[in-house]
Amino acid sequence: MEVKEEYSKLVEMLEERSHLGGVMGVMHWDQEVIMPSGAADSRAKQMSALAGVLHEKSTAPEFGELVGRLHAEGSEQFNAIEWCNIQEAKRDYVLETKVPKKLVQELAELSSRGHVVWVQARKDNKFADFAPVLKRFIELKTQWAKCVFPDLNSYDANIDIFERGTTQERIDPIFATLKKELIGLIQTIKDSGAKPNGDFLQGDFPVAKQEELGRKISSEMGFSFDHGRLDVSVHPFCGGAHPTDVRITTRYRADNFVESLYAVIHETGHGLYEQGRMPENLDQPVSEPLTMGIHESQSLFWERMIAQSRSFCTHYLATFQAVFNGQFDGVSGDQLYDAVNICESSLIRVEADEITYPLHIILRYEIEKGLFDGSLQVDDLPGIWNDRMEEYLGIRPPSDTLGVLQDVHWSSGSFGYFPSYTLGAIYACQFFHSMKKEIPNIEDQIAQGHLHPVKDWLNKNIHRLGRLYSAEDLVKKVTGEPLNPNLYIRYLKEKYAAIYKITLG
Amino acid sequence: MEVKEEYSKLVEMLEERSHLGGVMGVMHWDQEVIMPSGAADSRAKQMSALAGVLHEKSTAPEFGELVGRLHAEGSEQFNAIEWCNIQEAKRDYVLETKVPKKLVQELAELSSRGHVVWVQARKDNKFADFAPVLKRFIELKTQWAKCVFPDLNSYDANIDIFERGTTQERIDPIFATLKKELIGLIQTIKDSGAKPNGDFLQGDFPVAKQEELGRKISSEMGFSFDHGRLDVSVHPFCGGAHPTDVRITTRYRADNFVESLYAVIHETGHGLYEQGRMPENLDQPVSEPLTMGIHESQSLFWERMIAQSRSFCTHYLATFQAVFNGQFDGVSGDQLYDAVNICESSLIRVEADEITYPLHIILRYEIEKGLFDGSLQVDDLPGIWNDRMEEYLGIRPPSDTLGVLQDVHWSSGSFGYFPSYTLGAIYACQFFHSMKKEIPNIEDQIAQGHLHPVKDWLNKNIHRLGRLYSAEDLVKKVTGEPLNPNLYIRYLKEKYAAIYKITLG
């Protein structure tokens, strides 16, 4: 077979895997949004069978040999897109063939069952019911890590899946700096005694109106409802089957519309990344989102940089006033801006403001590190969680439901995912800095409700590039410098000094 | 390997196929109920890839050899359940291995795309837009028939998939008798000039209340919403992933609740068959529903024999009165019974009464016969459809949307399915006859709102038996005689003679 013909064969195989991956996407979404409760067992078996098929396809010797032959041809035989697909296929083949099918299936089944156990344990406030799932996951994910990256320590291997090339060695100093600076910043804000008025964000917000508002703003951000959906789930997420079928979720509280709306905006940010992938290669690895940190940079870009900005609040105040009759009478855009940026230690990560949020992440990162290196035990987590919440944020969760059981991630064995949230926040800040340089009047445009230049800029600079660059190279290409946490710290200090009328060093 | 060990291996393989079949069930349901419109292309590819996997599994030589060895051991080596699984596996293997993968995938892709084309053509009232899909399906299904049953004519091969062992030779005389008798009966009813009052069935029925009512009655029939769902789709159907995840749909019209409610009852009848399968062998062929005719006998049992009975109407009148405030003031149970049994020629099959319904089926049966034997051409169908509607029912459709484009079946290439509806009606009548003999006070129980004895009887006599008997043997076992269309004709004549106060021979 000629090289081009062999490459076409590879693309065909990769696209088949993408199609089957899309099927798995529907199964996941369905499980979290739609599935009847009594179907948990059958669903676990179905997803396990499908995971088995995907594993078979990914480990087929025919596939491995083809990838090996193409890779041996060298990069000069291919264009950048082709070579990226070959490299991605090679990495995946190496990753997949090192994991025995039995382990893959056990992980898939535990993931499916674990979700159901977690939902119930969270409802019952019983961490002990979830603990066996978590213990088994640590065992399985440690075994898994030894199979796939024998040279990395187990937690680094888990991180690598979400944040390729990033290790504890790189994260530790970033998080150490953040931890120190943010604990100090939070203390200064507390000591200031200042507190913007946020009373008007409490009230009676009918769910149907919240949903209507979410759809409106998501559409104005550029999300295509012909190629996506908005539904309800326990934990908001962005999933689906394909860039033409992107499904975001939120959850509603009748007394607080901000939480739900900003979840919609956050998940729309993820969704726009998916819908914005390079259109010619939608079912190929080259078009896939880069890392979880870059994915998160997109959701946080919209949530923090755009939707919590003064210009966004100025424009959308009138919309809020129109949707929620009378609720915002006499409120100014500046007051709304201050209110959506109130900094206050809180128990739930997804409700946290942008200053306290990284400390939620650092807590989880430290726990995951400890579970993998054996310095922490699963049974001790509720106590550890509560102690450190008190140490970092000055509040103590009254229940596991509001503490260690709050997040969905561990119920599917996703360790090493959490750091991406805060890496994403740093990326987002740095991207926004560059966007403002390139589009100097962008804040005026947002203040007039023109969000499409934001989407277009992200499409062009991030989404359409797929995996053609590493995350490290992408941030250099887009911003002219490597990932820089100090820019993020400076941004937070400047912003909150103004809101809280304090002086910061 | 020992025989028992080999049999266990077979069960494992069959269960894997069942799990993957469940995945396909979710994909189908999602496509019809949930999927964004712009995802049609990607969905077609995903379902095609999954169909390809199922085909690979079904045609694996390892599987065929195992089945061959077990079958060669002979029935005396196994109990009835084991032997049934082996026989079913053998039939499936023979069926699947005769179809090339390419043809399987082309059928799956056309099925997925065809559905989208049909939805649009129906909306636009443009049969010509759908015609190419239909033509291609006839070609592919003719090719397919030659592969799987070279000894049968093409249409018989299509029928055999839905109604195993039934051919045009067996159906023709039954349908000839029905056609003659029903055209006569309809004429007599028309000539009588009588018409029960059905005015109170028209009105304003809020969709939310209709849905509440549908859920209530479905629950009272015994449908488990912990193991199923009720949603909305263009054409009502019963699908889902598993007996623990059975999904029924209906559609709502604000001015007519009967159509929607009886669709819920009909689909619940299908759903109860699925939820009632033998619990020990849920993922094995032995527990699967028998034929489409038997499946339809279960939906029609509930829709026609139960929900259109005097006792059901007597009991549920009070419920209707409570749900739809004031709408049924002064209406008696007998009046409701007469109204839901009004016989009137109408354009849409799923809205047809039980006398005119079989003529809708016979029309479709004749068209399918003609398309496969070449005596009818796709492009002529709108004219043929309208002419025969006039001949059999005395009405002429004003549009293809209300005529030849009304049904979903052809959009997925399901030819030979329609006859099952009327065979099912005949089975249902015969089963009900037997149930009344075994539970003499069943009508009193229904009149008191006790529907569970009906469900229990069907669970025990039909659902739990799975595929242990052929349809022919099952009807003999349950009713003591073979399928008997004369019982059905007698039932119709007696019932409608009373409602229309006419004398019938």
Residue from B110, B112, B92, B104 nearest B160 by CA: B92
- Which of A26, A53, A244 is facing B38, going by the closest CB pair? A244
Question: For residue B20, what is the nearest residue in chain A, using CA coordinates?
Answer: A46
Count the Cβ atoms, other than its own, within 10 Å of residue A369: 21
From chain B, pick out residues whose CB is under 8 angstroms from the CB of A50.
19-20, 23
Strand ranges in A282-441 using DSSP code E only, listed in sequence order: none
Catalytic residue numbers of B read 267
State the pLDDT at residue A505. Answer: 64
- Which of B26, B43, B283 is facing A30, going by the closest CB pair? B26
Contact B166, B426 (CB under 8 A): no
CB contact under 8 A, A241 and B39: yes
- Best of A13, A16, A18, A19 to mutate (most B CBs within 10 Å, chain B): A19
CB contact under 8 A, A26 and B30: yes
Q: What is the mean pLDDT of residues B432-438?
A: 97
The nearest CA of chain B is from the CA of A230 a distance in Å of 10
State the pLDDT at residue A108. Answer: 85
Rounded to the nearest 10 degrees, how much is the dihedral formed by the CA atoms of A348, A353, A355, A361? 30
- Best of A30, A120, A249, A284 to mutate (most B CBs within 10 Å, chain B): A30
Q: What is the mean pLDDT of residues B146-157?
A: 94
**Helix, strand, or coil here: B69?**
helix
Helix, strand counts (H, E) of chain B: 20, 3
The nearest CA of chain A is from the CA of B1 a distance in Å of 22
- Which of A23, A49, A282 is facing B19, going by the closest CB pair? A49
Residue A346 CA to its chain's centroid (Å): 20
Spell out which chain A residues touch chain B, with contact meaning CB-CB distance below 8 angstroms.
Answer: 15-16, 19-20, 22-23, 26-27, 30, 34-39, 41-43, 45-50, 52-53, 224-229, 241-245, 282-283
- Which of A37, A48, A241 is facing B226, going by the closest CB pair? A37
State the pLDDT at residue A255. Answer: 94
Q: Give CA separation, A302 vs A439, A491, B288, B456, in Å.
A: 16, 16, 50, 56
Residue A493 CA to its chain's centroid (Å): 24
- Placement of tokens 């939070």 in the chain: A186
- Best of A11, A31, A46 to mutate (most B CBs within 10 Å, chain B): A46
**Helix, strand, or coil here: A241?**
strand
From chain A, pick out residues whose CB is under 8 angstroms from the CB of B49.
16, 19-20, 23
List helix spans (H) across B341-417: 357-373, 381-393
The nearest CA of chain B is from the CA of A225 a distance in Å of 7
State the pLDDT at residue B505. Answer: 64
- Placement of tokens 């309800």 in the chain: A232
- Which of B22, B27, B226 is facing A42, going by the closest CB pair? B22
In eight-state DSSP terms, residue A465 is: G
CB contact under 8 A, B244 and A35: no
Residue from A132, A129, A131, A116 nearest A41 by CA: A116
Spell out which chain B residues touch chain A, with contact meaning CB-CB distance below 8 angstroms.
Answer: 15-16, 19-20, 22-23, 26-27, 30, 34-39, 41-43, 45-50, 52-53, 224-229, 241-245, 282-283
From chain A, pick out residues whose CB is under 8 angstroms from the CB of B16.
49, 52
Q: Give CA separation, A200 vs A306, A332, A348, in Å.
A: 21, 11, 21
Q: Tens digits of per-residue pLDDT, A351-395?
A: 899 999 999 999 999 999 999 999 999 999 999 999 999 999 999
Signed CA dihedral, B291, B295, B297, B300: sign only: negative
CB contact under 8 A, A242 and B42: yes
Question: For residue A20, what is the nearest residue in chain B, using CA coordinates?
Answer: B46
CB contact under 8 A, B227 and A38: yes
From chain B, pick out residues whose CB is under 8 angstroms from the CB of A241.
39, 42-43, 46
Contacts of B436 (CB under 8 A, 6+ apart): B442, B443
CB contact under 8 A, B283 and A226: no
CB contact under 8 A, A38 and B242: no
**Is pLDDT at B66 greater than 70 in this prediction?**
yes
| Assigned token pair, B501 | 């106060």
Contact B130, B81 (CB under 8 A): no
Question: For residue B45, what is the nearest residue in chain A, using CA coordinates?
Answer: A19
Signed CA dihedral, A339, A342, A347, A349: sign only: positive
Exposure string (b/e) for A194-230, b if CB count within 10 Å is 16 or more? eebebebbeeebeeeebbebbeebbebbbbbeebbbb
State the pLDDT at residue B398. Answer: 97
Residue A59 CA to its chain's centroid (Å): 28
CB contact under 8 A, B46 and A228: no
- Best of A24, A53, A227 to mutate (most B CBs within 10 Å, chain B): A53
Q: Cα separation of A400 and A476, whole Å?
A: 41
CB contact under 8 A, B34 and A229: yes
Name all contacts of B108-112 with Cβ < 8 Å and 24+ positions apart.
B108/B44, B108/B47, B108/B48, B108/B51, B108/B52, B109/B44, B109/B45, B109/B47, B109/B48, B110/B136, B110/B137, B110/B140, B110/B413, B111/B47, B111/B411, B111/B412, B111/B413, B112/B31, B112/B40, B112/B43, B112/B44, B112/B47, B112/B48
Does an H or E element contain A250, and which? strand A245-250
The nearest CA of chain A is from the CA of B49 a distance in Å of 6
- Which of B20, B22, B46 is facing A19, going by the closest CB pair? B46
Q: Tens digits of per-residue pLDDT, B220-261?
A: 999 999 999 999 998 899 999 999 999 999 999 999 999 999
Residues of chain A with pLDDT under 50: none
What is the residue-wise DSSP string for A43-88?
HHHHHHHHHHHHHHHHH-HHHHHHHHHHHHH-GGGS-HHHHHHHHH
Residue from A371, A373, A372, A390 nearest A381 by CA: A371
CB contact under 8 A, B20 and A50: yes
Residue from B75, B79, B21 nearest B50 by CA: B21
State the pLDDT at residue A235. Answer: 86
Contacts of B143 (CB under 8 A, 6+ apart): B103
**Is pLDDT at B24 greater than 70 in this prediction?**
yes
The residues with which A238 forms a beta bridge, in sequence order, are A248
User: ipTM score here?
Assistant: 0.88
State the pLDDT at residue A503. Answer: 84
CB contact under 8 A, A19 and B48: yes
Q: Give CA separation, A456 vs A291, A460, B256, in Å.
A: 20, 6, 48
Residue A455 CA to its chain's centroid (Å): 18
Q: Cα separation of A249 and A253, whole Å?
A: 14
From chain A, pick out residues whose CB is under 8 angstroms from the CB of B38.
224, 226-227, 244-245
Residue A155 CA to its chain's centroid (Å): 18
Contact A265, A303 (CB under 8 A): yes
From chain A, pick out residues whose CB is under 8 angstroms from the CB of B34.
34, 229
Contact B52, B109 (CB under 8 A): no
CA atoms within 13 A on the CB side of A294: 26
Q: What is the mean pLDDT of residues B356-364?
A: 97
Helix, strand counts (H, E) of chain A: 20, 3
In eight-state DSSP terms, residue A100 is: -
The nearest CA of chain A is from the CA of B96 a distance in Å of 19
Signed CA dihedral, B267, B273, B279, B282: sign only: negative
Question: For residue B16, what is the nearest residue in chain A, using CA coordinates?
Answer: A49
State the pLDDT at residue B22. Answer: 98
From chain A, pick out residues whose CB is under 8 angstroms from the CB of B277.
none
CB contact under 8 A, B19 and A227: no
CB contact under 8 A, B241 and A39: yes
CB contact under 8 A, B229 and A45: no
| Assigned token pair, A163 | 């944040």
State the pLDDT at residue A482. Answer: 87
From chain B, pick out residues whose CB is under 8 angstroms from the CB of A282.
42
